[in-house]
Amino acid sequence: MAFDTSNGGIVNEGINHILNTEFHAGSQETTWYIGLLYTQSAPPFNANDVMSSHEGWIEITDYDEAARQEFVEAGASGGSITNSANKATFSINGECTIDGAFLCSDSTKNGTTGILMAERLFEEGTRSLQAGDEIQVTVTITLTQQ
């Protein structure tokens, strides 16, 4: 996920979690999960989105895996961290439309708890999928100096 304000980004809850964990002795989340989404309205994202309230999008759960897929990242390098060597794979089991993904701390499909870190539209745009399709999702988070 290369973030910009029009297509998504790290939400306020995610920013606060990073700051509290690194600078205020907050509790670290050691495992993060990737979920699939479909936008319902424009603009689809709001910096105040949380897992229990995100009016611009819905979670897509039409895949065989019992839970959201784990974000298995390599160590950070050059200001980025990514799962490009271990992409999250979803085996689609129904007809669905997806156009993005999100990163959160709870593995529960359609769950409304945990920390929402980020949400982002796919650069490739909307995808219509059928049962038997497979989609792999790469998440890259980049922090830059301003």
In a domain, 3, yes or no: no
Please give the pLDDT value at position 145.
Answer: 82
Q: Residue 6's pLDDT band (boundaries 50, 70, 90)?
A: low
Q: How many CA atoms lie within 13 A of 40 on its CB side?
A: 8
pLDDT digits (tens, 9 = 90+) for 63-93: 999 999 999 999 999 999 999 999 999 999 9
Task: Please report, to the nearest 10 degrees, the dihedral formed by the alpha carbons of residues 129, 44, 52, 61 taken in order.
Answer: 0
* Angle at alpha carbon of residue 102, lines to 97 and 107, rounded to 5°: 100
pLDDT at residue 26 greater than cutoff 80: yes
- pLDDT at residue 3 is higher than 50: no
Total structural domains within the chain: 1
Give the range of the structural domain holding residue 45, as residue numbers without chain letter: 8-22+29-142
Does some domain include residue 48? yes
The answer to whether residue 1 sits within a structural domain is no
